[in-house]
Protein backbone atom coordinates (compact mmCIF):
# COMPACT_ATOMS: atom_id res chain seq x y z
CA UNK A 1 0.00 0.00 0.00
CA UNK A 2 1.56 3.27 -1.10
CA UNK A 3 1.70 6.21 1.22
CA UNK A 4 1.24 9.89 0.43
CA UNK A 5 5.01 10.22 0.64
CA UNK A 6 5.51 7.49 -1.97
CA UNK A 7 2.96 9.14 -4.26
CA UNK A 8 4.58 12.55 -4.02
CA UNK A 9 8.08 11.16 -4.63
CA UNK A 10 6.76 9.16 -7.56
CA UNK A 11 5.32 12.28 -9.16
CA UNK A 12 8.64 14.07 -8.72
CA UNK A 13 10.53 11.19 -10.34
CA UNK A 14 8.11 11.22 -13.27
CA UNK A 15 8.44 14.97 -13.71
CA UNK A 16 12.24 14.71 -13.70
CA UNK A 17 12.49 11.65 -15.94
CA UNK A 18 13.42 13.69 -19.01
CA UNK A 19 15.92 15.95 -17.22
CA UNK A 20 19.58 15.07 -17.66
CA UNK A 21 22.75 16.39 -16.08
CA UNK A 22 23.49 18.05 -19.41
CA UNK A 23 20.35 20.17 -19.20
CA UNK A 24 21.45 23.42 -20.96
CA UNK A 25 19.06 25.52 -18.87
CA UNK A 26 21.44 25.18 -15.93
CA UNK A 27 24.29 26.90 -17.76
CA UNK A 28 22.61 29.84 -19.48
CA UNK A 29 24.85 32.90 -19.01
CA UNK A 30 23.21 36.05 -17.68
CA UNK A 31 24.52 39.11 -19.51
CA UNK A 32 24.05 41.52 -16.63
CA UNK A 33 26.18 42.88 -13.84
CA UNK A 34 24.75 43.93 -10.49
CA UNK A 35 24.92 47.68 -10.00
CA UNK A 36 25.30 48.47 -13.69
CA UNK A 37 22.76 50.84 -15.23
CA UNK A 38 19.90 49.22 -17.13
CA UNK A 39 18.96 50.38 -20.60
CA UNK A 40 16.34 53.12 -20.18
CA UNK A 41 15.96 55.68 -22.96
CA UNK A 42 14.65 58.55 -20.80
CA UNK A 43 15.71 58.07 -17.20
CA UNK A 44 14.46 61.45 -15.97
CA UNK A 45 11.18 61.09 -17.82
CA UNK A 46 10.54 57.69 -16.24
CA UNK A 47 11.43 59.02 -12.79
CA UNK A 48 8.95 61.88 -13.14
CA UNK A 49 6.24 59.53 -14.42
CA UNK A 50 6.70 57.03 -11.59
CA UNK A 51 6.79 59.71 -8.87
CA UNK A 52 3.54 61.14 -10.27
CA UNK A 53 2.01 57.66 -10.12
CA UNK A 54 2.34 57.91 -6.33
CA UNK A 55 0.17 61.06 -6.30
CA UNK A 56 3.13 63.33 -5.65
CA UNK A 57 3.52 66.71 -7.35
CA UNK A 58 6.58 66.80 -9.62
CA UNK A 59 8.17 69.65 -11.54
CA UNK A 60 11.34 69.90 -13.59
CA UNK A 61 13.14 73.18 -12.96
CA UNK A 62 16.52 74.62 -13.84
CA UNK A 63 19.11 74.71 -11.08
CA UNK A 64 18.92 78.51 -11.10
CA UNK A 65 15.15 78.43 -10.57
CA UNK A 66 15.18 76.00 -7.64
CA UNK A 67 15.01 78.68 -4.88
CA UNK A 68 11.92 80.31 -6.42
CA UNK A 69 10.33 76.92 -7.09
CA UNK A 70 10.86 75.80 -3.48
CA UNK A 71 9.00 78.85 -2.17
CA UNK A 72 6.23 78.45 -4.75
CA UNK A 73 5.68 74.81 -3.88
CA UNK A 74 5.67 75.56 -0.16
CA UNK A 75 2.92 78.11 -0.77
CA UNK A 76 1.04 75.62 -2.97
CA UNK A 77 0.94 73.17 -0.06
CA UNK A 78 -0.58 75.82 2.19
CA UNK A 79 2.38 75.81 4.57
CA UNK A 80 3.00 78.80 6.81
CA UNK A 81 5.84 77.33 8.89
CA UNK A 82 8.81 75.39 7.53
CA UNK A 83 11.87 73.74 9.03
CA UNK A 84 15.14 73.68 7.11
CA UNK A 85 18.08 71.31 7.65
CA UNK A 86 21.19 73.07 8.90
CA UNK A 87 23.17 72.19 5.76
CA UNK A 88 20.57 73.07 3.13
CA UNK A 89 21.72 74.97 0.03
CA UNK A 90 22.26 78.62 0.99
CA UNK A 91 20.24 80.04 -1.93
CA UNK A 92 17.22 77.89 -1.02
CA UNK A 93 17.43 79.06 2.60
CA UNK A 94 17.70 82.70 1.57
CA UNK A 95 14.66 82.42 -0.70
CA UNK A 96 12.53 80.75 1.98
CA UNK A 97 13.60 83.24 4.65
CA UNK A 98 12.74 86.14 2.33
CA UNK A 99 9.33 84.69 1.47
CA UNK A 100 7.57 85.73 4.67
CA UNK A 101 7.12 82.12 5.82
CA UNK A 102 8.07 81.34 9.40
CA UNK A 103 11.38 79.47 9.23
CA UNK A 104 12.63 77.21 12.01
CA UNK A 105 16.10 75.76 12.45
CA UNK A 106 16.78 72.26 13.70
CA UNK A 107 19.87 73.36 15.61
CA UNK A 108 19.49 72.67 18.45
CA UNK A 109 17.24 69.76 17.54
CA UNK A 110 13.52 70.46 17.73
CA UNK A 111 11.43 68.18 19.92
CA UNK A 112 8.84 65.88 18.38
CA UNK A 113 6.09 68.17 19.68
CA UNK A 114 7.75 71.17 18.04
CA UNK A 115 8.18 69.27 14.77
CA UNK A 116 4.54 68.22 14.90
CA UNK A 117 3.54 71.88 14.87
CA UNK A 118 5.64 72.60 11.76
CA UNK A 119 3.79 72.54 8.44
CA UNK A 120 6.59 71.56 6.06
CA UNK A 121 10.20 70.56 5.55
CA UNK A 122 12.52 71.21 2.59
CA UNK A 123 15.40 68.84 1.85
CA UNK A 124 17.84 67.71 -0.77
CA UNK A 125 18.22 63.99 -1.58
CA UNK A 126 20.98 61.41 -1.99
CA UNK A 127 19.68 59.54 -5.03
CA UNK A 128 16.54 59.08 -7.15
CA UNK A 129 15.45 55.80 -8.76
CA UNK A 130 13.66 55.93 -12.11
CA UNK A 131 12.15 52.43 -12.22
CA UNK A 132 10.46 52.74 -8.83
CA UNK A 133 9.86 56.50 -8.55
CA UNK A 134 11.75 56.48 -5.26
CA UNK A 135 14.20 58.94 -3.78
CA UNK A 136 16.55 58.07 -0.96
CA UNK A 137 17.73 60.25 1.89
CA UNK A 138 20.99 59.43 3.64
CA UNK A 139 20.44 62.27 6.12
CA UNK A 140 23.52 64.30 5.44
CA UNK A 141 23.36 67.96 6.58
CA UNK A 142 21.36 69.09 3.51
CA UNK A 143 18.65 66.54 4.35
CA UNK A 144 18.54 66.64 8.13
CA UNK A 145 17.88 63.89 10.62
CA UNK A 146 15.19 61.28 9.98
CA UNK A 147 12.54 62.80 12.28
CA UNK A 148 12.80 66.05 10.35
CA UNK A 149 11.52 64.32 7.21
CA UNK A 150 8.88 62.12 8.82
CA UNK A 151 6.99 64.32 11.29
CA UNK A 152 5.99 67.46 9.30
CA UNK A 153 2.94 66.90 7.10
CA UNK A 154 4.44 68.34 3.90
CA UNK A 155 7.78 67.59 2.28
CA UNK A 156 9.39 69.50 -0.60
CA UNK A 157 12.40 67.54 -1.87
CA UNK A 158 14.91 68.65 -4.50
CA UNK A 159 16.53 65.89 -6.54
CA UNK A 160 19.31 66.81 -8.97
CA UNK A 161 19.16 65.27 -12.43
CA UNK A 162 22.60 63.72 -11.98
CA UNK A 163 21.36 61.92 -8.85
CA UNK A 164 18.68 59.96 -10.73
CA UNK A 165 19.72 56.39 -11.60
CA UNK A 166 17.93 53.64 -13.47
CA UNK A 167 17.14 50.99 -10.87
CA UNK A 168 17.57 49.84 -7.27
CA UNK A 169 20.88 47.96 -7.76
CA UNK A 170 22.46 51.07 -9.31
CA UNK A 171 21.12 53.15 -6.42
CA UNK A 172 22.60 50.73 -3.89
CA UNK A 173 25.97 51.20 -5.58
CA UNK A 174 25.63 54.97 -5.30
CA UNK A 175 24.76 54.63 -1.61
CA UNK A 176 27.67 52.35 -0.71
CA UNK A 177 29.70 55.19 0.79
CA UNK A 178 26.76 56.30 2.94
CA UNK A 179 26.29 52.75 4.23
CA UNK A 180 30.02 52.46 4.95
CA UNK A 181 29.79 55.67 7.00
CA UNK A 182 26.91 54.22 9.01
CA UNK A 183 24.38 56.78 7.77
CA UNK A 184 20.68 55.87 8.01
CA UNK A 185 18.77 55.54 4.74
CA UNK A 186 15.14 56.56 4.23
CA UNK A 187 13.53 55.33 1.00
CA UNK A 188 10.57 57.48 -0.05
CA UNK A 189 8.09 56.31 -2.69
CA UNK A 190 5.37 58.93 -2.77
CA UNK A 191 3.44 60.48 0.12
CA UNK A 192 2.90 58.33 3.18
CA UNK A 193 -0.13 56.10 2.60
CA UNK A 194 -1.60 52.80 3.73
CA UNK A 195 -4.79 50.83 3.14
CA UNK A 196 -6.85 48.49 5.28
CA UNK A 197 -8.29 45.17 4.12
CA UNK A 198 -11.18 47.01 2.44
CA UNK A 199 -8.68 49.17 0.51
CA UNK A 200 -9.64 52.37 2.29
CA UNK A 201 -6.61 54.60 1.69
CA UNK A 202 -5.30 56.61 4.63
CA UNK A 203 -2.51 59.14 4.07
CA UNK A 204 0.00 60.59 6.50
CA UNK A 205 0.16 57.65 8.89
CA UNK A 206 3.93 57.22 8.94
CA UNK A 207 5.24 60.29 7.14
CA UNK A 208 4.23 63.40 5.18
CA UNK A 209 0.89 63.11 3.40
CA UNK A 210 1.86 65.79 0.86
CA UNK A 211 4.98 65.37 -1.26
CA UNK A 212 6.40 67.78 -3.84
CA UNK A 213 9.49 66.73 -5.79
CA UNK A 214 11.57 69.24 -7.75
CA UNK A 215 13.90 67.71 -10.34
CA UNK A 216 16.75 70.18 -10.88
CA UNK A 217 18.10 69.92 -14.43
- What are the backbone dihedrals phi and psi of residue 202, each rounded to the nearest 5 degrees, phi first? -125, 130
Indicate whether 16 belongs to any domain.
Answer: no
* Residue 59: CATH number of its domain: 3.40.50.10420
In a domain, 152, yes or no: yes
pLDDT, tens only, 175-213: 999 999 999 999 988 776 666 677 677 666 666 788 899
Judged against a pLDDT cut of 80, whether residue 56 lies above it is answered with yes
CA distances from 85 to 126, 134, 165, 213 (A): 14, 21, 24, 17
- pLDDT tens, 113-160? 888 888 899 999 999 999 999 999 999 999 999 888 888 888 999 999
Residue 9: inside a domain: no
* Lowest mean pLDDT across 26-35, 57-66, 186-195: 26-35
Containing domain of residue 140, as a range? 40-216
Domain assignment present for 54: yes
Query: Is 26's pLDDT higher than 70?
Result: no
Q: What Rg, from alpha-carbon coordinates, does the chain have? A: 23
How far, CA to CA in Å, does 149 sit from each of 141, 188, 190? 12, 10, 13
In a domain, 28, yes or no: no
User: pTM for the full model?
Assistant: 0.76
In the chain, the number of structural domains is 1
Per-residue pLDDT at 81 exceeds 80: yes
Amino acid sequence: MSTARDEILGRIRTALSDVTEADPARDVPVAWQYGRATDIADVLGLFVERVEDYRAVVERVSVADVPEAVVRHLRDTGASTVVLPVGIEATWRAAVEASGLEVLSDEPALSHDELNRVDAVVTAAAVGIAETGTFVLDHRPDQGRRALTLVPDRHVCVVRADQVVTDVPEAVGRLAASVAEGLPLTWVSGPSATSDIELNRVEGVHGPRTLHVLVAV
